[in-house]
Amino acid sequence: MMHLGLVMECDYRAGVTQEEAFDEAFELAEASEAWGLDGVWLAERHFAAPRAELDPMGVGIPSIVSAPLIMATAIAVRTRRLRVGIAVNVLPLCHPIRIAEEAATLDQVSKGRLDFGVGRSGFPRAYEGYGIPYAESRERFQESLDIILKAWTQERFSYEGKYYACHDLCVIPKPYQKPHPPVRVAATTRETFPQVGAMGHPIFIGLRGFDITEAMHHLSVYRQALQEAGHPGKGDVFLRIPVYVAETAEQARSEPQASTLQSYRRLAENFARSAGAAGTTVSEERVERAERLATAGYDELLRGRLAYGTPEAVAERLRQLQQALGLSGVIIEPNVGGLIPRDLVLRSIRLFAQEVAPRVRASNKA
């Protein structure tokens, strides 16, 4: 059965206080459970200022989720069935022992409902704020993940790395799920896909830096590396994708248009600005992505990166993507750009949960 969940970036709009934004986030999580979604996923965001000029290297959308494990714990105690995921925890920004302790605590509090998504972030801005060189992010990420898994699965352990070292530690609590919560690694760059495959981890992909056709190629590389490393199966793939559902095709096209275009233009600017920064992928890849997104029209985005439409159209779109990409889960992004009015966002999520999700699940059973 394909997992159908919701990304919660927990942005707050003009006229909404941070306190109100927290209340809205909790209400949305409770509604997601009531409407029958499988899970909610919290995006980790740092220094997401209310105005883009205060955060020129960020996305320009204010967000309250700088501590996703704490936020997820609050959601866990408000729900009973809903899985609570992190999409993703930026491992190099915090000591891995602390992350292991807090995530295991969340898994215990939720009685085993944690999905632990991890990554290193595609942009250097958060690292600058924490005083950590982005050039160290890849090595720090791998050391952190190694330590977290040892902390969860071994009664006592020692580790000696370039950035972290510990001796004869007994980390408590251990996770509720055994041997540990599902770990899912985000992949946004070409070199990450074979690395995740070689490690044998489930993978998270999005349609920001590349489109559906490119995703098919990247996932073939992931699966080839998975097989060559001797891991069983064909890989476990979750797709994060902007989804907007409305009663008519015209509503589904027009209502999110301005917010969507602004989001992808801003993303293009971020790729261009980060090209050549220490620790980023080859500048050519970022420049290429920036140029493509800067000139992409709305129709091109609709074809290659979005799932907008009536309930019937979106369900068919997701069925096609599931077959093309070999998906085991879809995480919808309901307000790409953060500018769609809240009442329309809630209507779209409700339509997705009540009219799209049942169609997708029925097709999975057929």
- Return the HEC string of the chain: CCEEEEEECCECCCCCCHHHHHHHHHHHHHHHHHCCCCEEEECCCCCCCCCHHHCCCCCCCCECCCCHHHHHHHHHHHCCCCEEEEEEEEHHHCCHHHHHHHHHHHHHHCCCCEEEEEECCCCCHHHHHHCCCHHHHHHHHHHHHHHHHHHHHCCCEEEECCCCEEEEECCCCCCCCCCCCCEEEECCCCCHHHHHHHHCCCEEEECCCCCHHHHHHHHHHHHHHHHHCCCCCCCCEEEEEEEEECCCHHHHHHCCHHHHHHHHHHHHHHHHHHCCCCCCCCHHHHHHHHHHHHHCCHHHHHHHCCEEECHHHHHHHHHHHHHHHCCCEEEEECCCCCCCCHHHHHHHHHHHHHHHHHHHHHHHHC
pTM of the full structure: 0.93
Q: Is residue 162 part of a domain?
A: no
Can you give the pLDDT at residue 124? 85
Is 197 within 8 Å of 225 (Cβ atoms)?
yes
Can you give the pLDDT at residue 273? 75
The structure tokens 């609590």 sit at: 173
Neighbours of 264 (CB within 10 A): 22
**Domain holding 51: CATH number?**
3.20.20.30
Residues 6+ apart with CB under 8 A from 99: 69, 89, 91, 144, 148
Q: Is residue 351 part of a domain?
A: yes
Q: CA–CA separation, 305 vs 174, rounded Å?
A: 39
Q: Is residue 180 part of a domain?
A: yes
Can you give the pLDDT at residue 272? 77
Q: Is residue 144 part of a domain?
A: no
Of 302, 277, 331, the closest CA to residue 43 belongs to 331
pLDDT (tens digit per residue) in 341-364: 999 999 999 999 999 999 999 998
Q: Is residue 153 part of a domain?
A: no
Identify the domain containing residue 110 by its residue range: 3-131+175-365
pLDDT (tens digit per residue) in 99-123: 999 999 999 999 999 999 999 986 7
Q: Is residue 142 part of a domain?
A: no
Number of domains in the chain: 1
Q: CA–CA separation, 18 vs 52, rounded Å?
A: 17
Q: Is residue 57 part of a domain?
A: yes
Q: How many CA atoms lie within 13 A of 149 on its CB side?
A: 12
Question: For residue 88, is the peptide bond before it cis, meaning its omega torsion is within 30 degrees of 0?
Answer: yes
Can you give the pLDDT at residue 79? 99
The one-digit pLDDT tens for each residue of the chain (366 residues) are 899 999 998 887 778 899 999 999 999 999 999 999 999 999 999 987 765 444 444 445 688 999 999 999 999 999 999 999 999 999 999 999 999 999 999 999 999 999 999 999 867 889 999 999 999 999 999 999 999 999 999 999 999 999 999 999 999 999 999 999 999 999 988 999 999 999 999 999 999 889 999 999 999 999 999 999 999 999 999 999 999 999 999 999 999 999 999 999 988 887 777 766 655 555 677 778 878 888 889 999 999 999 999 999 999 999 999 999 999 999 999 999 989 999 999 999 999 999 999 999 999 886
Q: Is residue 140 part of a domain?
A: no
Can you give the pLDDT at residue 122? 66
